[in-house]
């Protein structure tokens, strides 16, 4: 069974997005993605200040098995990266939903509503297995 916290939004490319109280959106990879990748050994973060469009590749997650692009769930500006990750790669594997990778300020906060809810993501991830 794929873990899909109901308070998050999801992309078909296996990122999760969470609206934060300050108006930013925290983004990470889903549990499905981290299980498929295996032990994370490196993350190439997006550059703070970069403006991105929804669906743009903004970074890379590397594991012992493979490398996978990280995509922006919505358009906006990258405002922060999670500096704890490079010193603790295992955080992503321990709890992919607690280990956000970057935050962005969305160009249009309403765009989050267009992402998948937990049930729709779980259904699409199950078919991707």
Q: Give the CA count within 13 Å in the CB-facing half-sphere of 14.
A: 22
Nearest to 37 by CA among 93, 98, 121: 93
Q: In what order do the strands lie in the sheet with 15-19?
A: 9-10, 15-19, 25-29, 102-106, 76-81, 51-52
Contact present, 28 and 101 (Cβ < 8 Å)? yes
Domain borders along the chain are: 9-107
Q: What is the domain class of 9-107 according to CATH?
A: mainly beta
Contact present, 54 and 75 (Cβ < 8 Å)? yes
pLDDT tens, per residue, the chain with 129 residues:
678 999 999 999 999 999 999 999 999 999 999 999 999 999 999 999 999 999 999 999 999 989 999 999 999 999 999 999 988 888 898 999 999 999 999 999 999 999 999 999 999 887 776
pTM, rounded to two decimals: 0.94
């Amino acid at each position: 069974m794929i873990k899909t916290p109901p308070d998050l939004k999801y992309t078909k490319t296996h990122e999760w997005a969470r609206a934060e109280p300050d108006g930013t959106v925290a983004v990470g990879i889903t549990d499905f993605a981290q299980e498929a990748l295996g032990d994370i050994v490196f993350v190439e973060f997006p550059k703070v200040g970069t403006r991105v469009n929804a669906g743009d590749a903004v970074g890379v997650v590397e594991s012992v098995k493979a490398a996978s692009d990280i995509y922006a769930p919505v358009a906006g500006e990258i405002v922060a990266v999670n500096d704890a990750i490079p010193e603790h790669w295992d955080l992503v594997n321990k709890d992919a939903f607690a280990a956000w990778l970057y935050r962005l300020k969305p160009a249009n906060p309403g765009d989050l509503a267009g992402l998948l809810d937990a049930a729709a993501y779980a259904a699409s991830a199950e078919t991707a297995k």
